[in-house]
A and B are shown apart, each in its own frame.
Chain A
Amino acid sequence: MLFNSLDFAVFLPIVFILYWFVVNRDLKLQNALVVLASYVFYGWWDWRFLLLIFFSTGVDYLVGLQLNKERKKKNRKILLWISVIVNLGFLGFFKYYNFFLDNFITAFSFFGMKINANTLNIILPVGISFYTFQTLSYTIDIYKKKLKPTKDFIAFSAFVSFFPQLVAGPIERTSNLLPQFLNKRKFDYSKAIDGTRQILWGLFKKIVIADNCAQFANEIFANSADLNGSTLALGVLFFTFQIYGDFSGYSDIAIGTARLFGFNLTQNFAFPFFSRTFPEVWRRWHISLTTWFRDYLFIPLVKRFPINKVTKVIHVFVLFIVIGFWHGASWNFFLWGVLLALYFIPSLFLKNKIQTQVVAEGKFFPTLSEFFKVLLTFSKGSFALIFFRADSVGQIFEFITNIFSFSLFEIPELSNYTLASEVIALIFVFMLIEWQGREQLYAIEKLGFKWKKPFRYLSYYIIVFLILFYAGQEEEFIYFQF
């Protein structure tokens, strides 16, 4: 079920009413309703994959309990490996089987050996990369004795399958989400209003920004060989806003929906376009994934291998290549990861202070130096997205060669200049709203709080109007494919 569909618009109020009015007195029933609703939500795509979630839930629940009982280190390790193999096994099979098989066949044929093997027609279960990582963190944390397992299977199932964040995150840590299922939730009016506002903003990002940009990004990337440099550069810009609007919009809807049910999810995006350095981008973009990899891959690597200049570089490469492959089984994503690592490495050797505060904090205008730093970081990030969006490695190089040619100074060749100008104007307004709200959790969190009520309502109606104005066919969210 898509968040931007009518199905969801009907589904959400039904679950909300049942949750707060029918099963509100019994925590177990409330959790059972969450599980049921989550399975309906997920099964709307393909009910067969529910078995996968159920199996994964069952294995991690049992492994968690056993890990707590088991004292022998060797047995504990075996249990951990069972969880890792089951979870990564599913992920590997559904996501990477064909990729590795193709590459093995190609590699062997390079040495004159012919291998007869057929690739399988595998459908990737929606969101498998997200819930797999969430359940993995549960068993790893219990193994590391950072966490006690839960005996409540219903609460654990609800934690694994919680519908707002099941298919595209945020990837929640057990320590944050699971305890919320174990304690009674109370309806909080201001939290619900805030959640509704965040849903509204998420829909705006998805429907008004991402879907409009997608029209041009898709057209330009599909015809990149025939277009001039300036059009391709515009294509990159459109795709940058498409992916941000799409994914951060999804996160906003997910977080807002969870708030309606009394849950707090992790912030997943913190205005990454206003970062001054590349490491700052990674602290602000898809935060739940980058912190997951930091805690479960990077830190263990650092602990295992002595830190020196060479290992530091290797660790960063490993981290970003794995992040690249997490996004998809193709060489494009591998190269994307390599490029990100190259962006990141200089920061390891420069003794710059880590910037945790948002740019131009407490001020409206940034300094000239801040402005250019933000612009440079944004350009580098957008450039990297060519690797992310291109269909093949060949297209990446063709695209880059065409961009950096004299045709970069020609007039862009767009199919609809009026609409393109309209979309660029929308992006400009969007960036202004994001800029004014960059010190909050999401851009409109406090928009118009000092205004008179009718004006504040008017601003929400304008957002609703724009959403309805551009809403058409439901477009899938990009991150579902991961």
Chain B
Amino acid sequence: MKSYIYKILFFLFPICIIVVILEFLLINIPNDYTFKKEYLDKNASEIETIIFGTSHTFAGLRPEYIDGHTFSVAIGNQSLSYDYKIFKKYQNDFKNLKTIVLAVSYPTLWFRLQDHHKDSSLIFNYEKYYGIDASANIDFRLEILNRPLKLNYRLIFQYYIKKKPVQISEEFGWGKKITKRSDLSRSGKQQAKRQTYRDINSNVNNIRMNESIRMLNSIIDWSKQNNVNVVLLTTPTHLYYREKLNQEQLEITIKTATELALNNENCMYLNFFNDERFSDDDYRDAHHLNPTGAAKFSKLVNLQIKEFQ
């Protein structure tokens, strides 16, 4: 039996060495999470406008077009629960804050990153790089396991060999992603399906929604006490996406945001969801703006924020 164990260990030894080296290399590659954390650690006290949210605001709202010192902590798949965790972590450091922009998209009220097993690698990022307690069950915390090895190789190659950064965040946290426009019809349909919750009135979904509203209220209350405005923002979407959505889920989202704005004088709701000023040329896919669309959108948002102030 001992010879079996020795043989297996002998066989596994080179594999283990390679895994350790790859893990070391991967964990030391700066990414969007480390960049945003470092920025907040250094500059939180100077930020005047902070943008939260998922890829909709990460790609769609460009801080350089917003007046004052603006920074985006938005990132792909960042659910409201993680916006809230980041906010809580830094709230005492926001000495100069005037406006908080919170994305309210179609799935926002029900989407929680921690509920999606497949996104556990993303939760890892918050714990490992943001220093935020993920309070989720991540079995083993190894960077190498967060994605297939072939993608890990690509990252290592890109960063260490080609000397190109892995992060897509620009100076003020905008997610610059220049890709060919995908098929709007197909992406609209696929994403609408993915973001629609079955049985929106079920107990589980009600619990998630109430928790989201509680978090939004908590941010709004803190903002009131600290003379900060809150902008609830729904980004523009393409007709191909809109027409496939569940109307009930959409109505609840818009109604919730509208009511929050009506009930709180420091809160404004900007709904660009059906805005016809955005054409096919402004979209990367059916629910994300491309850099041109994002610039156009950011200017419009900036005007509204200025008016509100």
Contact = CB atoms under 8 A, between A and B. Distances in A.
Interface of A: 5-7, 20, 187, 189, 192-193, 196, 222-223, 226, 457, 460-461, 464, 468-473
B1 A20 contact: yes
B162 interface: no
A471 B148 CA distance: 5
Given A193-B4, A468-B149, A473 B189 contact: no
Given A189-B1, A223-B189, A223-B190, A470 B139 contact: no
B150 interface: yes
A193 B6 CA distance: 12
A6 B149 CA distance: 15
Nearest to B121: A473
Nearest to B190: A223
Contacts of A473: 117-118, 120-121
Interface in B197-244: none
B115 to A, nearest CB: 15
A471 B186 contact: no
> 9 smallest A-B Cβ distances: which pairs?
A472-B148, A187-B1, A469-B149, A6-B140, A468-B149, A192-B4, A469-B150, A472-B147, A470-B148
Nearest to A20: B1
B178 interface: no
A20 B193 CA distance: 51
B190 A469 contact: no
A170 B17 CA distance: 35
A17 to B, nearest CB: 9
B6 to A, nearest CB: 11
A196 B10 CA distance: 14
6 contacts: A6-B140, A192-B4, A226-B189, A469-B149, A472-B148, A472-B151
A471 B3 contact: no
Given A193-B4, A468-B15, A470-B149, 8 more contacts: A223-B190, A457-B11, A460-B11, A461-B14, A461-B15, A472-B147, A473-B118, A473-B121
A471 B144 CA distance: 10
B137 to A, nearest CB: 11
A121 to B, nearest CB: 9
Nearest to B142: A6
Contacts of B14: 461
Interface string B1-31: 1011001100100110000000000000000
B145 interface: yes
Contacts of B186: 223, 226
Contacts of B190: 222-223
A22 B39 CA distance: 53
Interface in B157-179: none
Interface in B77-125: 117-118, 120-121
A193 B7 contact: yes
A222 B147 contact: no
B8 A196 contact: yes
B251 to A, nearest CB: 25
B147 A5 contact: no
A407 to B, nearest CB: 16
Contact of B139 (A7, A189, A223): A7
Contacts of A464: 15
B258 to A, nearest CB: 32
B15 to A, nearest CB: 6
Contacts of B140: 6-7
Nearest to B153: A469
A24 to B, nearest CB: 9
Contacts of B4: 187, 189, 192-193
Nearest to A186: B1
Contact of B149 (A7, A193, A471): A471
A469 B14 CA distance: 15
A223 B190 CA distance: 8
B148 A469 contact: yes
Contacts of A193: 4, 7
B219 to A, nearest CB: 31
A386 B17 CA distance: 44
Nearest to B150: A469
A469 B7 CA distance: 23
Nearest to A16: B5
A139 B1 CA distance: 37
